[in-house]
Structure 1
């Protein structure tokens, strides 16, 4: 059966379409589904029978383009040896040889030379297609080589014949190879000349994991390690891989799950890979559990996979947007705009004085930096061309010399910018709210900076100046546009169009529901400390990675006692001249000195009150709650801090001796909570329903613990150095039933003793 040019074109076009659309190759149990290929290419299914040119073409292209993760297609499943002894004939050798050589990575253009060599070998030995490959290509292969004249002085011929000999041995071996992955692995190790230790050393797989795979207690999750085993055991690529995949499907079949459990739109055909991803999340024991428990585990696995696909889509969109920036950095702003911004920044950030007595509120330097970043986006949008076909790069086509703070007073311009942001991110977010609220405060009558700066009107083009005059002047213009922005914000909130991030207490809700929220964290820290002591080895103190674990232990032990923000931990310093954040007092006791200015709400004079001219909080390690940490602190400073400090003076530096960034510090804490507190923990101290969380969640846990154990929001506010109103609103999740429970425990009239 020859292959027509039309069929070749159909197959090539279909493969190119798969790649361009980022689609997966249709597969059944890890092998190409030729029935689906036939339907999608328009080529009759009979043309894809084993040994046909169409089948050979599609197999070559699949492997060449890397469209299938497994290095073999269907040929392993279709091997059928005619005689009962399992010895293949030369016809069977030819039938499966092409697929075998392709799966081993042999170039398709070289395969014809292998068939020519085999043909010469058969002619020299006077063999036909129906002849058995024993003994000439089997047990007496070496003697056959020495007798044949065709190989004299021709090493390539010998090499090809040796590969045919290897394929013959593989076919014989595969007939007796069990189909279960564990049994097949055990069989291959048994007939090889290697033991498990040597195989583990050769492949880089731990001997413990290898023993578990052989016994069937667990299966490998990394296909690369399975391929390394195939190489070490001198078997064809895909032999173990295929059995692993088949075994997984047998243990976790898709048809065990009711169809109505799957989300709408997750049909079997187009979402098979999503379904398999959910199955992979479920353990073997889950399929043996009761229906109620299995449904709960299934829903949990489904949510994990959906979040992962959502995250992947978000990352793809993010990569796309990163390649299309639009922010107009302040370094490139025209002088007039820079001057206006510096005046505004000075007005909002300077200490209270007669020069800014009319302002409604002040900004911290951090807030000013955030506003500056928002303005760089706003002015970048104004400068984008208005006729761009790309919506992600379409703006108002303004010249940079026309940019001024006055444009913030036009509600239609501001709303167009926020719509532009929505087209890029897919939603209005908390940044939208922040930007509108900032402009509303700047336009506020009497106290807003823009409202109090009518000279800004002269920086606008004449057309806009005339429209302001028609409205009744600058102040009227500011009032009207302010009301328009307030109305738009109310509409967005009433229609729930603001895409907020997940509820901040969601990852730690099971901890907050406990009678003593701090208890599991303290227990996890004790477990972590014991683990570090048990794993300590000779010279491990000089290993940065090990020293960093002790850094983490000290930081977390302090964090659970002092709910400071990320900034404090990053900039906390220690100097030998006793001038750092950590120092010794006149008695030689350790102490922490925390300047007021390092706190986010340092302007709150009710909380941060000067005493004797000192604008800092001093906490002694000779008092609770830091007193128990003195031995750990001194051990860290003596044995581990010198290993990682480098040229830095930070008490908690990075591995390389630099200051930790907000992201790296958050990732460190999140990694620890994942390993020792979350439901994903393998340490035995995880809590069901808890997800990895970062530094700020410790504030909420500690505040909730104080309120639950003392019943006082005021004490929690004192601990967080915040106002009771803020604590009650944002941090403390003191549930109403906890209040009732505490009251009922005090009452004895209902029977029972007072507990």
Structure 2
């Protein structure tokens, strides 16, 4: 039986075709040699590229001559250049086999390649047109390469296969971007550098240093435009900070302090506590419902501003101050007018929701008997201010995203980009390689792993910021529902975020009325698309990443931060969580085609993105309310504008179904 003939044109992905493509790149006459090398498919089969490379590397000249005779027998005529093509393929395979022992990290790999080629720093620098100090900095790990083209020149000079070194550069450095030259400092400059690095990779597939002048100018122009946008709230805040007037609580006269503390104890004491009983007996009344601590803090802040105005603008002494001044209609009216005049000619609204909240606080104090005042006049003022106030026009930083058909899809793409960046540094996300990394690099990688995990989980479960920065682990009770922590592992090994009703700011609302003391579980593993994500062709599940995080990453973070009972070490406060979100936002901002005008955003914006997507996709406010664990009224106030125009018809279809 003769040897079966095979076509010379091979499918993409065939092991022989893969080597043929490398021959094309490796030699000036590569196309001709590659054509002859493809004839190997007529006499040999290979299951994988690795099998072919190992076989080629072990061939002798005698073996190659024997293959040439075998091919001549099959084709009926000699192929003079087949032998040369096979020897070229053998040299490439031997080089690849040798490079398999190259260290994984770039500094060690570069040192290995220089030693193998017998080339020192100065000679290599002359060969590729770089300074010796630059190469020494890479070898010592002090800095990272900025240009892929430069490393490709080094690969050629050291006789390496394409990608041998570039594939080991986990992250390209960004230098001389012009970010600092534009006057940006601190976190803004850090975000700018991150944006340029990620945008260059996502949109052009190369480091910033390799961009053309036009490409660099386009990205920097986009960055400067992003910094130049200011919301009405930001403009108002800037104007307000120019003339600070608040009187801090610790500077209040003792009598005013005591009066306010009594109010806070009466209004804010926990239901069922001794303090609540004592405060109600002293005041002779029972609060209708407990006022949240956040609301009390906001009201105290408004009173601090009012008292500060009296001292700085009206000439009151500290001894003249009292809470009863809040009930003086003329003083309050003068204060509001003074506030409004500060914004004349600024292009922003003068009367806003904050004025309404200030009057709400006064009305509450009058109704409960803490201060004296003309209730009817203040009610009328509140009604008029409420009518003329201007609502904040949208959610400034993410408003362009909310106008998209599926805002959450952009966030998920950004998370995938974040995970791809992480995988480029550690390899397999379920078995991250941290060997050879400095302490600083390990800290960077661990923080990125933690942050990507939070972003992914929050894109599914849009909980409030406090549920993330305040989350704890009860290691001993991890497998029990009656634990003290916020992470639960069920009998099947699936993780759930766990929170009790009292850990929600609206715990006394109708949303939690039937929950009683049972904890709420938020799964990290469900048979639904959001719980799985493809990263570089590998599919990862959120639950698996959480397991790896607890085993490998969390101990590193806890070692640095010093508290292993915190679920996300390093994120201990609202400010820290907000800073993290702003720092990671460029993974979304850098995506190709992302809506223009999007700015770095905080964790609360994630709730807006999820809720808006829910309203648009389900055409239902109730689904958004369920996801946010909030009332229909709140959701209607914020998100009704995103309901489709045909929502009436959509409800008819949902109720009655479509015709068959």
TM-score range with shorter-chain normalisation?
0.5 to 0.7
Q: State the match for 2:229 in structure 1.
A: 307
Match of 2:250, SS state, is helix
Q: State the match for 2:519 in structure 1.
A: 616
The one-character-per-residue Cα deviations of 1:155-214 (angstroms, maximum 9, x if unpaired) are xxxxxxxxxxxxxxxxxxxxxxxxxxxxxxxxxxxxx999631177299895628969xx
Q: State the match for 1:590 in structure 2.
A: 495
Q: CA deviation at 1:513?
A: 2.8
The answer to whether the 8 A contact 1:524-1:685 is kept is no
C-alpha distance in 2 between matches for 1:223 and 1:285: 15
Instruction: Find the partner of 1:198 among 111, 128, 131.
Output: 131
Q: State the match for 2:294 in structure 1.
A: 366
Q: State the match for 1:574 in structure 2.
A: 473
Q: State the match for 1:666 in structure 2.
A: 578
Structure number with the bigger relative contact order (C-alpha 8 A, sep ≥ 6) is: 2
Instruction: Find the partner of 1:711 among 602, 619, 634.
Output: 619
The answer to whether the 8 A contact 1:582-1:593 is kept is yes
Over 3 Å counting, the alpha-carbon distance change for 1:365 and 1:615 in structure 2 is farther
The answer to whether the 8 A contact 2:497-2:523 is kept is yes
Instruction: Find the partner of 1:642 among 555, 566, 578.
Output: 555
Q: State the match for 1:479 in structure 2.
A: 376
Over 3 Å counting, the alpha-carbon distance change for 1:347 and 1:666 in structure 2 is same
Q: CA deviation at 1:478?
A: 3.6
Q: State the match for 2:355 in structure 1.
A: 432
Match of 1:503, SS state, is coil
Over 3 Å counting, the alpha-carbon distance change for 1:286 and 1:630 in structure 2 is closer
Over 3 Å counting, the alpha-carbon distance change for 1:372 and 1:311 in structure 2 is closer
Q: State the match for 1:416 in structure 2.
A: 334
Match of 1:367, SS state, is helix
Q: CA deviation at 1:381?
A: 2.3
C-alpha distance in 1 between matches for 2:476 and 2:501: 22
C-alpha distance in 2 between matches for 1:222 and 1:343: 55
**Which structure 2 residues correspond to residues 59-70 of structure 1 after superposition, within 5 A?**
none
C-alpha distance in 1 between matches for 2:546 and 2:321: 54
Q: State the match for 1:126 in structure 2.
A: none
Instruction: Find the partner of 1:652 among 568, 581, 599.
Output: 568
Q: CA deviation at 1:483?
A: 3.0
Match of 2:229, SS state, is helix
Q: State the match for 2:511 in structure 1.
A: 607
- 1:340 aligned to 2:259? yes
**Which structure 2 residues correspond to residues 60-209 of structure 1 after superposition, within 5 A?**
196-198=129-131, 201=134, 206=145, 208=147
Over 3 Å counting, the alpha-carbon distance change for 1:298 and 1:546 in structure 2 is closer
Over 3 Å counting, the alpha-carbon distance change for 1:718 and 1:372 in structure 2 is same
Q: State the match for 1:402 in structure 2.
A: 320
Q: CA deviation at 1:344?
A: 1.8
C-alpha distance in 1 between matches for 2:222 and 2:525: 47
- 1:380 aligned to 2:308? yes
Indicate the structure (1 or 2) with the bigger Cα radius of gyration: 1
C-alpha distance in 2 between matches for 1:338 and 1:486: 30
Q: State the match for 2:6 in structure 1.
A: none
Structure 1: stretches of 5+ with no match in the other structure: 1-191, 213-217, 226-281, 288-293, 385-394, 458-473, 747-752
The answer to whether the 8 A contact 2:356-2:385 is kept is no
C-alpha distance in 1 between matches for 2:486 and 2:607: 21
Over 3 Å counting, the alpha-carbon distance change for 1:510 and 1:571 in structure 2 is closer
Over 3 Å counting, the alpha-carbon distance change for 1:285 and 1:616 in structure 2 is closer
The one-character-per-residue Cα deviations of 1:31-71 (angstroms, maximum 9, x if unpaired) are xxxxxxxxxxxxxxxxxxxxxxxxxxxxxxxxxxxxxxxxx
Q: CA deviation at 1:347?
A: 2.9
Q: State the match for 1:724 in structure 2.
A: 632
The one-character-per-residue Cα deviations of 1:665-712 (angstroms, maximum 9, x if unpaired) are 1232233232x222xx1x547445544332222223322333344333
Match of 1:726, SS state, is helix
The answer to whether the 8 A contact 1:593-1:618 is kept is yes
C-alpha distance in 1 between matches for 2:465 and 2:628: 13
Q: State the match for 1:523 in structure 2.
A: 413
Match of 1:600, SS state, is coil
C-alpha distance in 2 between matches for 1:705 and 1:311: 25
Instruction: Find the partner of 1:327 among 221, 224, 246.
Output: 246
Per the normalisation by structure 1, the TM-score is 0.49
Q: CA deviation at 1:407?
A: 0.7
The answer to whether the 8 A contact 1:541-1:643 is kept is no
The answer to whether the 8 A contact 1:512-1:733 is kept is no
The answer to whether the 8 A contact 1:508-1:691 is kept is no
- 1:677 aligned to 2:627? no
C-alpha distance in 2 between matches for 1:224 and 1:713: 45
C-alpha distance in 1 between matches for 2:644 and 2:180: 53
Task: Give the RMSD, CA atoms, in angstroms.
Answer: 4.6
**Which structure 2 residues correspond to residues 227-238 of structure 1 after superposition, within 5 A?**
none
Q: CA deviation at 1:372?
A: 1.2
C-alpha distance in 2 between matches for 1:320 and 1:510: 32
Q: CA deviation at 1:413?
A: 0.9
**Which structure 2 residues correspond to residues 232-311 of structure 1 after superposition, within 5 A?**
284=214, 307=229
Q: CA deviation at 1:644?
A: 1.3
Match of 1:607, SS state, is helix
C-alpha distance in 2 between matches for 1:406 and 1:724: 37
Per the normalisation by structure 2, the TM-score is 0.55
Over 3 Å counting, the alpha-carbon distance change for 1:732 and 1:661 in structure 2 is farther
Number of residues paired by the alignment?
A: 434
Q: CA deviation at 1:526?
A: 2.7
